């Protein structure tokens, strides 16, 4: 895969530039979500937040959406998020993982993120993926997978 660098916020809210290679040697839960501060995305982020201690003993959590850093900062502060958020405004990482898709709502077609989660191994290779994720129970699925491998 091509090395893509994205601006993001670290777990403490500090703006940095990241590449997935920065996490080499660690397993990564990389989850893609459509939009900050929407109902499903907030629920998903809060589920990751509430389980962060159980997750970080097994992997680093990174959320990715096409929202701006400013939007991420507001989302982080409002929801007290405690993991890395990356801003993929150009959709480079989303396209690389095949989650930038044509969607439809009320008969209108548009491009957007297909809610998806990937577990990357310590070398950055995808070892597990969930596509078209349903928010309810998803973090439990991820934890179950991480605990079994």
Q: Which two tokens stand for residue 11?
A: 């777990």
Instruction: State whether residue 6 is helix, strand or coil.
Output: strand
Q: Is 46 a catalytic residue?
A: no
- The label of the residue with tokens 């907030």 reads 42
Q: Strands across the sheet with 60-65, in order?
A: 15-19, 5-9, 84-87, 60-65, 28-32, 116-120, 126-130
Q: Which of 9, 41, 93, 142 is labelled catalytic? A: 41
Active site residues: 41
């Amino acid at each position: 895969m091509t090395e893509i660098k994205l601006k993001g916020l670290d777990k403490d809210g500090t703006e940095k530039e990241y590449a997935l290679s920065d996490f080499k040697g660690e397993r990564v839960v990389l989850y893609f979500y459509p939009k900050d501060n929407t109902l499903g995305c907030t629920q998903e982020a809060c589920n990751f937040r509430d389980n962060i201690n159980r997750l970080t003993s097994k992997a680093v959590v990174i959320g990715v959406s096409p929202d701006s850093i400013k939007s991420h900062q507001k989302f982080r502060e409002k929801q007290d998020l405690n993991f890395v958020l990356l801003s993929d405004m150009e959709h480079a990482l989303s396209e690389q993982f095949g989650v930038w898709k044509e969607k439809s709502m009320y008969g209108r077609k548009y491009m957007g993120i297909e809610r998806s989660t990937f577990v990357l191994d310590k070398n950055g290779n995808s070892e597990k993926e969930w596509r078209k994720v349903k928010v309810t129970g998803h973090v439990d699925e991820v934890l179950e997978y991480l605990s079994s491998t």
